[in-house]
Amino acid sequence: MGVLPILSWVGIAQVQQKQNSQISTMDKQTISAFENRVKNYVKLRNQVKAKLPKLSKSSTPEQLESYRKSFEESLRAARVGAKRGDVFNTEGSDYIRRTLKSEFKGKDRAQLREIVFDAQTQAVKLRVNYPYPEPTELVEMPATVLLNLPQLPKEIKYRFVGHHLLLVDRDNNLIIDYMLDALP
């Protein structure tokens, strides 16, 4: 399996600027709406996190795990009605599918699929507002893919599980939302 090239920050900015100029007005609105839904989640998660007791720098692994679990449970309670499609709505999902299909052809697509499908993620249950199982292999989003998708705040990450794309909270592994059949 080949290693996907990592672009320099300058190269990334140039690619993003070029891509932004090629995006239609309708797609820009779709991306903006998606990013706003993600920001709303981050706002809620930060409100929940602010209510938790603070950890000290000398916290034990047990205290850290207890904090993570409390954060997860509090956030799940705050999002009790969360369901698939709250963030990845139809327009956002369609845009991401089109982007992945158009940007990844031939060798790049084969390489991406090899990375994603080699991972042992079959046991991951796709459920909004539940944690991504910790012992399960994590499929990080390759840098070349990240350049083509809507940008996420640092608290959120994309994850692939088979053909499906997930949004996962970095601090507590909570599955925020997922879209089916993201990969072509």
Q: Helices in 23-169 by DSSP H: which ranges?
A: 25-50, 61-78, 90-103, 106-118, 143-146
171 is in which domain, residue-wise?
24-179
Domain membership flag for residue 5: no
Does residue 138 contact residue 157 with C-beta atoms inside 8 Å? no
What pLDDT score was predicted for residue 23? 83
Q: What is the mean pLDDT of each run of 10 residues along the chain (184 residues)?
A: 38 44 86 96 97 92 92 96 95 91 70 62 81 66 76 91 88 93 81
Domain membership flag for residue 2: no
How many domains is the chain built from? 1
Please compute Rg for the chain using Cα positions.
17
Domain membership flag for residue 152: yes
What pLDDT score was predicted for residue 106? 67
Domain membership flag for residue 68: yes
Domain membership flag for residue 116: yes
CA distances from 149 to 39, 46, 102, 103 (A): 16, 24, 12, 10
Domain membership flag for residue 18: no
Does residue 174 contact residue 152 with C-beta atoms inside 8 Å? no
Q: Which residues, at least 6 apart from 12, have a Cβ–Cβ distance to it below 8 Å?
A: 143, 147
What pLDDT score was predicted for residue 17? 42
What pLDDT score was predicted for residue 123? 67
What pLDDT score was predicted for residue 137? 56
Domain membership flag for residue 60: yes
What pLDDT score was predicted for residue 60? 93
What pLDDT score was predicted for residue 145? 72
Helices and strands, number each (H, E), in the chain:
6, 3
What pLDDT score was predicted for residue 87? 96
Identity of the amino acid at 160:
F
Domain membership flag for residue 10: no
Identity of the amino acid at 49:
K
What pLDDT score was predicted for residue 140? 61
Separation between Cα atoms, residue 173 and residue 127, nearest integer Å: 12
Q: Which residue has the tokens 């981050």?
A: 42
For the record, the structure tokens of 21 come out as 């100029």
Does residue 176 contact residue 126 with C-beta atoms inside 8 Å? no
